[in-house]
Amino acid sequence: MLRPWFIKKFYASLLVLFLILIFLISGPKLFAAESQKSHKKNVPISITSEKMILKNLKNQIVFEGMVLISRGEVKINADKAEVLLSESSETPSLLGGVNDGREVSQIVVTGHVRLIRGNQQAKADKGVYERGQDVFILTGNPEVWDDDFHVKGKVITFFIEEERTLVAESQAVIRNGSQGLVKKELN
């Protein structure tokens, strides 16, 4: 009678050890991928300007004068930025805890808009960042420069999570070889 109980316990222990081994082998990879995704989405947005106006009843914050917006490696300069807030129950406050339940849903930048992301630079008259779709849309004579190309268009859309760019009515110059394209200084 003692033997069947021992065999069941042995197989159960073997199964647990097997599951632990699988977890140890694949677990860190799963957590790393999950951590990178959540890390990208939880990167804070930093905004500095000469003047800030809080319109609490409209769920809006307006930044004026030498606006600099930073999020990870993306930097945006503009004359003005309007930040629209939406309801959220789990938004962390700068002071700790949970704030009044609002988070950034949209940012509209106007006037001498400049975007820098890695080697890529862009300019336009207006830019709109939609957080829900994780896109940044440039309008008003938008242009983009990278190491090997220069693109103009009617509308340029950056799909941030996908690292993809869509240009409507595009006009492009592409350079091959090590010489690349000389970047235009954005004043």
C-alpha closest to that of 150 among 170, 164, 124: 170
Confidence (pLDDT) at 1:
47
In this structure, are residues 85 and 59 in contact, taking their beta carbons and an 8 Å threshold?
yes
pLDDT one-digit tens code per residue, 85-134: 987 655 444 444 444 567 889 999 999 999 998 888 999 999 999 988 88
pLDDT of 36 > 50? The answer is no
Cα 67 from Cα 80, distance rounded (Å): 6
For the chain, what is the mean pLDDT?
Answer: 76
Q: What is the pLDDT of residue 13?
A: 54
In this prediction the pTM is: 0.67
pLDDT, residue 141, reads 95
Mean pLDDT, residues 127-144 taken together: 92
